[in-house]
Structure 1
Amino acid sequence: MERTLPSKSRRRWVLATLLLITVCYSWSAVNELAELIEAEPDELPDSSSSLLSRAEHNIAAHLHVPHRITKFRGQVGSEMPGGGAASSTGSSSSGGKQAITLPAKQGGGAAAAATTAGTGGGSAGGQCSMLENTDYWGEALVAGAANKKATAAKCCASCRLYTPEASKDMMSCNVWVWCGDAQLCGSYHQDCWLKHLAHPYGTAPARVGPDVGWTTGIMTPKPDPAALGAGGEERRFHVVITAAGAATHWQSRVGYYWYKKIKKQCEEAGNCQMGSFTRLLHTGQPDDLMNEIPTWVAQPLPAEHPDHGYIVLNRPYALMQWVQQVTIPEKYVLMSEPDHVWLKPMPNLMRGEHPAAFPFFYIEPSKKEYNHIVAKFVGPVTREDSEEIAPIGNAPTIMSWEDMKKVMPLFFNMSIAVHNDADASKEWGWVQEMYAFTLSAYKAGIRGIDLHLEMMSQPPYDEKLAPFYLLHYTYGMDYTLQGEFTPGKYGEWRFDKRSYSGNPPPRNLGEPPPGMKNELVRHLIHAINEASNAIPGWDDYAKTGVAKELWDGVV
């Protein structure tokens, strides 16, 4: 007779077996990730990899959920009662805020346009750099209601004297907000919130203006900005974009037109640091714009590394091929994108050899909830360590050609590893490739990346042309016929680049409503119209998507 274990023993045996399998699988997965990141590109696992198979379902689930993209629109934090902006995790969770708004020069002066990643720092020796009528985000260390102070100076002193606590990851107080206007603050009058913010000068304030009763103080000193234009032509930077498909086809033409026009203005003004231009076409085949836009053809991802519909994975592979196979006359590179419209000449924003980049509020490598994911790819990191990982993607970023050659192979390997990891692909979704870039820069030993809010605008959540260099038209722009902004709702007047994913937009797009006050949205429509009228044969191009007539590059 066959003997069987008692039911209680069987349950224990099954649970023990499952636990052992889980431990072994987790150990194997983490080690495979580490090997993948360090591997040479030709050593990457093929499509039978357990990691690749495991990630396939997770990635596919994210690529067709529009709300995962629209939820990013204009969010820079969550609002605490009474107007004190805070975030319990440093994450972004409320809508309707402008993604990029530089504080006005008032009170103690505006926050610097540039900051260095990782200089969140402590409050020891901090200065009371006060920004009146300004409310900042930050991870709350001490709630304002429990920390009433009679003056802003006393609130600043409270921040300086704050002792980090283990329960709050030993984070220091580097930002404070104090509500000093009795009429505007109401019951929150004299509340003094103590906070920690990973990148104070690289984060847009929550609110700015005469109707804001809060005063913000940033304890860390402003980094010395780069001497703009210093170094002359020796500091020229090459501009590279990556492209494939119908949408980026017309965007590249518009973007190149404005690059040429602004570069001409730059050269006429003298001491221009805008260099030459490359469209990096990652289709493996030449196209009909080869004689209009300087283009280098890269191979798409090989069959053993399918992108599962996440076409952005081709970008790091294309950039790796480019830096390994070409030489350029410039020592520096600006990585840009097809949907960037140039607004004015950009100098080399780098300090020395430190990269300069635009900070994205939704890239949060220092977020506590992501620490275990980040550690898979760069090794164990403390919260303080993770603040050295800049909140950036690869574009727009300026870095040296030598750093490009170090980072791009890592970027390719890292993007595959992140794509194949279930946790990372679930949490980071469509922007996983951006995380892969900043993790790669950190892995390559690059520290002190300067963050520049003025590098790029993102309408409709940014409104003014000044002080930006680039316009990024990634979000839909919806307005009533009276000019009222209707975020999240189709407007009676609207522009969204996704409406032209198949064929290019027609010439002479309709003017925004007269009452619409957003300078950047209006400028964008004018910019597309100017380019489509200057490039010959656009009417036929808008119908067919084929460039039968080419622009000669003369502006």
Structure 2
Amino acid sequence: MLQHGRFILLLIGVITFVLTLSSINLLSKSIAAQHYASLGAQSEEGQTDWLRFLDRAEANIGSHLPQFLHHESQRNVITEETRKSSGAESQPRSSRAQMLQPPLSNKKASDRKICKMLPNTDYWGEAIVWGPQNKVDSAEECCQQCANYSPASEDDMDCNVWVWCGDKERCKGSYRDCWLKHLAHPEAVNPATGPKVPWTSGLSGVDNSMDDDPKQVGGGERRYHVVVTAQGSAVHWQARVHYYWYVKTRAQCVEQLGVDCQMGGFTRILHSGRADELMDEIPTHVVEPLQDRDNKGYVVLNRPYAFVQWLRTAVFPERYVLMSEPDHLWLRPMPNLMLGNHRPAAFPFFYIEPAKKDFQRLTEKFTGPLSLKQAESIAPMGNAPTLMSLKSLRKVAPTWMNVSKAIFDDKEAHEAWGWVLEMYAFTIACYMEGLPTASLHIKMMAQPPWDTKLWPYYLLHYTYGMDYNATTGEHMPGKYGEWRFDKRSYAQVPPPRHLDAPPDLVSNELVRKLIDVINEATSAIPGWDDYAATGVAKQLWNGNFR
């Protein structure tokens, strides 16, 4: 009787899921009809709610960092606790044994993957063969084990990352450990590197290199249109600084490459429902926000809806689009990084994990059942920064909006994905619409203070707070430093001109660059002192540089 009852519940669930998928395609038309029927003035979100959401975003993203900062120390010894946390305890005996030593390979020599060895480098990943139980004498041997590894089935994880410790003095108990691992997107990971790292790592069958200076391919045929979305005082000044550096960087690109420069036009999509004073300074398209009953104060949900509206009437010569954000600053001209005409190119975010064990079930709520390979083909990206063809964006945008709303209304998925649920919705929508898995470019954008060097990044994303000891120059994550910069300090009014430079002993090139470029823009844009005091732009920038 109990089994019969479970079958009935399962059947009801399947029917509900099918009906949900059938109705999701109608959601965009329904939402659009509701909002175009009431195009009245929309109220701005409250500053308290805005700051609360910003704080949640910082906590949501920052909560992922410690697992990477302390990765090396977490894997020296296998205990019953680590076996359980890895899922080994729940595996059948044969599967657990596979985690302790590599299986015999049935691959032909011609099928073997080529490994690139990276000394003083430590990659994390999900362990499929534990190092303390797999001692080998050389990095070459560890590399070959990974290349030869044969998973039990097509839906089990293959080895694409290996890590070996060959310095007896520094490795101590981990000496000769050979870990075989799996990462869904190894090319999206910045490993720990430097002379203090005793590990040698490698990627099997993966190219994790990005040309330091990719060639401009196709010239004007590959030119892209830059689009940013904006709403509210927190991004008002950011959009001005962003546009200043876009214009200056594009001028450099044209000067260097002429007609082969791939940086094209620019649009700010303002999803407040009404024009602001920057219309004559920044090329802007005004669209409606979602009604309060639909976004419930979650203003980022307006972004996909804004794209749907903009794409209905947008006309521009470029065939490709770069979706960016106001808190991205241009460091140097960026070519179209797409591989081919239809495969998107994107910056990877480590906290977007649709294939993660805890999240795949949630992802399947919106995609239907997924194999491991299908789940891992959903790239760890959001919509920005992402390059894609205009044709693909037109196809994806309505589904992106629909899935964003569906995730927002799903209590479990909403709680799990929080502030970044709209990013999950974008990459899920790309999968649902059959787009090729995006090529991921981790050097596309720097994120100080965790990134430290200028080269070879194209964009700088200043989303994290930056705190330093004024005397020693020491980075103070999680604490208020004597010197600090955090965009959240300027959520209501813009920053003043002439921000103080970081202390002399701060060696982070990107933190220094950030303050320099903000200071240059605020000095070049007229009337900034009054603007910083009032938040209202009474004088507009005419396109001249400092």
Q: What is the TM-score of this pair, normalised by structure 2?
A: 0.85
Q: Counterpart of 2:542?
A: 552
Q: Counterpart of 1:41?
A: 28
Do the aligned residues in 2 keep the contact of 1:389 with 1:439 (CA within 8 Å)? yes
The partner residue of 2:469 within 468, 473, 480 is 480
Q: Does 1:399 align with 2:406?
A: no
Please list every run of 5 or more consecutive structure 1 residues that lacks an aligned counterpart in the other structure. Answer: 1-11, 48-59, 92-122
Q: Counterpart of 1:4?
A: none
**Per the alignment, in what secondary structure is the counterpart of residue 488 of structure 2?**
helix
Q: Does 1:529 align with 2:519?
A: yes
Q: Does 1:410 align with 2:402?
A: no
Residue 258 of structure 1 and its aligned partner are, at CA, apart by 0.6
1:494–1:466 distance in 2 versus 1, CA, 3 Å: same
- Matches of 2:85 and 2:161, distance apart in 1: 13
Do the aligned residues in 1 keep the contact of 2:146 with 2:159 (CA within 8 Å)? yes
Residue 302 of structure 1 and its aligned partner are, at CA, apart by 3.6
Q: Counterpart of 2:360?
A: 371
Do the aligned residues in 1 keep the contact of 2:210 with 2:443 (CA within 8 Å)? no
Q: Counterpart of 1:149?
A: 136
- Matches of 2:85 and 2:456, distance apart in 1: 26
Q: Counterpart of 1:179?
A: 165
Q: Counterpart of 2:374?
A: 385
Letter in 2 for 1:398: L
**Residues 246-255 or 207-216, more deviating:** 207-216
- Matches of 2:224 and 2:189, distance apart in 1: 26
Do the aligned residues in 2 keep the contact of 1:241 with 1:335 (CA within 8 Å)? yes
Residue 540 of structure 1 and its aligned partner are, at CA, apart by 0.7
Q: Does 1:330 align with 2:318?
A: yes
Residue 61 of structure 1 and its aligned partner are, at CA, apart by 10
1:88–1:289 distance in 2 versus 1, CA, 3 Å: farther
**Per the alignment, in what secondary structure is the counterpart of residue 39 of structure 1?**
helix
Q: Counterpart of 2:195?
A: 210
Q: Does 1:318 align with 2:299?
A: no
Do the aligned residues in 2 keep the contact of 1:149 with 1:191 (CA within 8 Å)? yes
1:128–1:477 distance in 2 versus 1, CA, 3 Å: same
- Matches of 2:225 and 2:77, distance apart in 1: 39
Q: Does 1:340 align with 2:325?
A: no
- Matches of 1:68 and 1:128, distance apart in 2: 35
Residue 184 of structure 1 and its aligned partner are, at CA, apart by 1.6
Letter in 2 for 1:527: V
Q: Counterpart of 1:135?
A: 122
Residue by residue over 1:487-546, the C-alpha shift from the partner in whole angstroms, topping out at 9 and shown as x without a partner, is 000111111000000000111111111111111111111111111111111111011100
Q: Counterpart of 2:276?
A: 287
**Per the alignment, in what secondary structure is the counterpart of residue 516 of structure 1?**
coil
1:89–1:258 distance in 2 versus 1, CA, 3 Å: farther
Residue 64 of structure 1 and its aligned partner are, at CA, apart by 6.3
Residue 331 of structure 1 and its aligned partner are, at CA, apart by 0.4
Residue 445 of structure 1 and its aligned partner are, at CA, apart by 0.3
**Per the alignment, in what secondary structure is the counterpart of residue 462 of structure 1?**
coil
Letter in 2 for 1:217: G
Q: Counterpart of 1:510?
A: 500
Q: Counterpart of 1:158?
A: 145
- Matches of 1:261 and 1:74, distance apart in 2: 37
Residue 385 of structure 1 and its aligned partner are, at CA, apart by 1.1
Do the aligned residues in 2 keep the contact of 1:365 with 1:435 (CA within 8 Å)? yes
Letter in 2 for 1:418: I
Q: Does 1:71 align with 2:63?
A: yes
1:508–1:90 distance in 2 versus 1, CA, 3 Å: farther
Letter in 2 for 1:465: L
Do the aligned residues in 1 keep the contact of 2:188 with 2:350 (CA within 8 Å)? no
- Matches of 2:446 and 2:77, distance apart in 1: 22
Aligned length: 497
Please list every run of 5 or more consecutive structure 2 residues that lacks an aligned counterpart in the other structure. Answer: 35-50, 87-109
- Matches of 2:464 and 2:26, distance apart in 1: 36
- Matches of 1:372 and 1:35, distance apart in 2: 20
The partner residue of 1:220 within 201, 205, 209 is 205
- Matches of 1:345 and 1:378, distance apart in 2: 37
Do the aligned residues in 2 keep the contact of 1:134 with 1:216 (CA within 8 Å)? yes
Residue 88 of structure 1 and its aligned partner are, at CA, apart by 8.8
Residue 368 of structure 1 and its aligned partner are, at CA, apart by 1.6
1:257–1:520 distance in 2 versus 1, CA, 3 Å: same
The partner residue of 1:255 within 236, 239, 242 is 242
The partner residue of 2:433 within 421, 429, 444 is 444
Residue by residue over 1:459-509, the C-alpha shift from the partner in whole angstroms, topping out at 9 and shown as x without a partner, is 011111111000000000001112110000011111100000000011111
Letter in 2 for 1:366: A
Letter in 2 for 1:212: V
**Per the alignment, in what secondary structure is the counterpart of residue 177 of structure 1?**
strand
- Matches of 1:187 and 1:307, distance apart in 2: 53
Do the aligned residues in 2 keep the contact of 1:82 with 1:188 (CA within 8 Å)? no
**Per the alignment, in what secondary structure is the counterpart of residue 294 of structure 2?**
coil
Letter in 1 for 2:302: N
- Matches of 1:297 and 1:89, distance apart in 2: 53
Letter in 2 for 1:190: R
Letter in 1 for 2:63: K
The partner residue of 1:430 within 419, 435, 450 is 419
- Matches of 1:536 and 1:343, distance apart in 2: 22
| Shift >6 Å, 4+ stretches | 15-22, 60-64, 82-91, 223-226
1:342–1:75 distance in 2 versus 1, CA, 3 Å: farther
Letter in 2 for 1:493: W
Letter in 1 for 2:458: Y
Do the aligned residues in 1 keep the contact of 2:345 with 2:387 (CA within 8 Å)? yes
Do the aligned residues in 1 keep the contact of 2:135 with 2:178 (CA within 8 Å)? yes
**Per the alignment, in what secondary structure is the counterpart of residue 276 of structure 1?**
strand
1:418–1:533 distance in 2 versus 1, CA, 3 Å: same
1:129–1:224 distance in 2 versus 1, CA, 3 Å: closer
Q: Counterpart of 1:489?
A: 479
The partner residue of 1:200 within 173, 186, 207 is 186
- Matches of 2:84 and 2:305, distance apart in 1: 33
Residue 156 of structure 1 and its aligned partner are, at CA, apart by 1.7
**Per the alignment, in what secondary structure is the counterpart of residue 344 of structure 1?**
coil
Residue by residue over 1:225-256, the C-alpha shift from the partner in whole angstroms, topping out at 9 and shown as x without a partner, is 78630101111100000000001100000000
- Matches of 1:202 and 1:16, distance apart in 2: 44
- Matches of 1:306 and 1:368, distance apart in 2: 30
Q: Counterpart of 2:294?
A: 306
1:69–1:352 distance in 2 versus 1, CA, 3 Å: closer
Percent identical among aligned pairs is: 51
Letter in 2 for 1:187: G
CA-based RMSD of the aligned residues comes to 3.0
1:21–1:477 distance in 2 versus 1, CA, 3 Å: farther
Question: Superposition pairs for residues 78-93 of structure 1, below 5 Å?
Answer: 79-81=71-73
Q: Which has the higher contact order (CA 8 A, sep 6+)?
A: 1
Residue by residue over 1:143-168, the C-alpha shift from the partner in whole angstroms, topping out at 9 and shown as x without a partner, is 101100011111122223323146x9
Do the aligned residues in 2 keep the contact of 1:537 with 1:548 (CA within 8 Å)? yes
1:130–1:85 distance in 2 versus 1, CA, 3 Å: farther
